Amino acid sequence: MSANTHIDLSYKTKNSKQLINMNVIIVDDEPLAQEVLETYVSKFPALNLIAKCSNAVEAFDVLNKNNIDLMFLDIQMPQISGIDFLKTLHNPPQVIFTTAYSEYAMDGYELNVVDYLLKPISLERFAKAVNKAVANEQQIHENEPNIPASTEAANYIFVKADKKLIKIRFDQINYIEGLKDYVILHTPNGRVVTLQTMKSLEIKLPSDIFMRVHRSFIVNLANISIIEGNTVQIEKKIIPIGKNYKDVLLNIINKNRL
């Protein structure tokens, strides 16, 4: 790999330099292709391989149970193609297509994937693709306000929106919705849209007030009015409960039952 493809898995804030760590999954039905990608991923310490999946069903389960930042996704797979699988995801991670077929490049462009790697994949080409994903991750972190989000006594958070820092009290947040690289905070006064990931916002919120109930939704527990089946209702909004979150939510709710 030449010097021109060196990858710096870090980003600079105004006050310090911090490492970027990206959780990765590989989705490919060919064991040899999985092995090649796993070898390449291992050469970059900040890429943390969470799982290797042989099909979309396995990948969907991993995505629901983990915070994944980057997915290497094969296009030609049994049952459901990588393209069709990606279209089903409401809040997908960054995606790099890996395929032996060049005719799908336009699909990758329309789905806003990071890059499109043709097999056999060289390490140099792999590094260039990962560089793009890291640059995207850097941009997300650089747009997050570099101030303490909350302290033990704080009852509010600052978020960056419309080139301003907006203070929002926790009790004003009904629920939070993830949409690609953005999150939407829904309040009685309207929506606040900020450029950051659900994962980065979730760790700033007090766990006794907020809970993630779905890969794309965090709710204010105090504002839930109805739980029915696999949904919760906050005001007029019906929010799905992911199967991996339901038991935890019900345990919390049952502690407050009469």
Note the Cα 93 to chain centre separation in Å. Answer: 5
CA angle 42-43-45, nearest 5°?
Answer: 75
Radius of gyration of the chain (CA): 20
Q: What is the pTM of this model?
A: 0.58
- Tokens 């450029």 label which residue? 195
Q: Token pair 């203070």 is at which residue?
A: 167
Handedness of CA 101, 25, 7, 111 (dihedral sign): positive
Cα–Cα dist 28/198, whole Å: 26
| Domains along the sequence of the chain with CATH | 3-142 (3.40.50.2300), 156-254 (2.40.50.1020)
Residue 8 · residue 52 · CB < 8 Å: no
pLDDT tens, position by position, 163-199:
889 999 999 999 999 987 789 999 998 999 998 888 7
> What Å distances lie between residue 186 and 157, 175, 193, CA to CA?
14, 6, 9
pLDDT in tens, the chain (258 residues): 544 444 544 444 444 445 678 899 999 999 999 999 999 999 988 799 999 999 999 999 998 888 889 999 999 998 899 999 998 887 788 999 998 877 765 655 567 889 999 999 999 999 999 998 988 877 766 655 544 444 444 789 998 888 889 999 999 999 999 987 789 999 998 999 998 888 788 888 888 899 999 989 999 999 999 999 999 999 999 999 988 788 888 888 777 665
Token reading at 93: 């991670």
